[in-house]
């Protein structure tokens, strides 16, 4: 009975279980949460990455304006935001092609340019108090644009100069 107190049962995904039986795995119970001792990864002061105001111009298609608590102002076009999508799929694609967030796709050498309609943001929704999420006209909606990410990829002249 004591063994049962120290472990919880977890179901194994169907692919991993044998075809004729439902398997269960015994896992040790986890200790109390210890996040209090985690180091802060982002050393940017919170006031710099928290927005004072956010305006999303969906109907006009202009993009997003953010005024940060430290007084900085960022303006993002929807095209820039789509090209900067922070989801794993887009990050991997950019890494393979050597592009930076917000940098448009480069056509492969020797290919003819194909007309693509401009991608539009269909919806924008807040994710808690830390991010925005967009649904795009190309059926992509995986990226969560955190305030820290948006501040990091700010396309204004001042921020671009600092990064160079």
Distance set, CA 55 to CA 51, 70, 76, 117, 126 (Å): 10, 17, 10, 24, 12
Own/partner pairs for 126-132, CB < 8 Å, 24+ apart? 132/54, 132/56, 132/64
Measured distance CA(148)–CA(160) in Å, rounded? 16
Measured distance CA(88)–CA(90) in Å, rounded? 6
Q: What is the pLDDT of residue 42?
A: 52
Helix (H) or strand (E) holding 61, with range, is none
Domain match, 68 and 131 both: yes
Domain match, 92 and 157 both: yes
- pLDDT tens digits for 33-84? 444 444 445 555 666 678 999 999 999 999 999 999 999 999 999 999 999 9
Q: What is the pLDDT of residue 116?
A: 78
Asked if residue 150 lies in contact with residue 66, where contact means CB atoms within 8 angstroms, the answer is yes
| Residue 139, domain CATH | 3.30.2020.30
Domain match, 64 and 97 both: yes
Q: What is the mean pLDDT of the chain?
A: 78
Measured distance CA(2)–CA(156) in Å, rounded? 62
- pLDDT tens digits for 76-109? 999 999 999 999 999 999 999 999 999 988 777 7
Domain match, 142 and 80 both: yes
Is the pTM of the predicted complex or chain greater than 0.75? Answer: no
- In the chain, how many domains are there? 2
Domain match, 31 and 52 both: no
Measured distance CA(10)–CA(109) in Å, rounded? 51
Q: Is residue 112 one of the residues assigned to a domain?
A: no
Q: What is the pLDDT of residue 129?
A: 92
Measured distance CA(87)–CA(149) in Å, rounded? 11
Q: Is residue 110 one of the residues assigned to a domain?
A: no
Domain match, 22 and 67 both: no
Host domain of residue 62: 46-104+117-163
Domain match, 17 and 91 both: no
Q: How confident is the model at residue 152 (pLDDT cuts 50, 70, 90)?
A: very high
């Amino acid at each position: 009975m004591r063994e049962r107190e120290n472990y919880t049962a977890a179901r194994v995904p169907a692919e991993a279980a044998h075809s004729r039986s439902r398997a269960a795995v015994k896992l040790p119970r986890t200790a109390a949460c210890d996040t209090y001792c985690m180091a802060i990864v982002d050393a940017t002061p919170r006031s710099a990455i928290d927005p004072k105001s956010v305006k999303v111009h969906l109907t006009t298609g202009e993009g997003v304006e953010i005024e940060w608590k430290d007084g900085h102002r960022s303006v993002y076009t929807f095209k820039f935001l789509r090209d900067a999508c922070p989801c794993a799929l887009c990050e991997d694609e950019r890494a393979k092609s050597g592009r930076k967030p917000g940098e448009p796709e480069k056509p492969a050498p020797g290919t003819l340019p194909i007309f693509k309609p401009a991608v539009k943001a269909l919806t924008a929704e807040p994710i808690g108090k830390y991010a925005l999420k967009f649904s795009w006209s190309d059926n992509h909606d995986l990226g969560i644009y955190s305030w820290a990410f948006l501040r990091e990829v700010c396309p204004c002249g001042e921020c671009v100069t600092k990064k160079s």
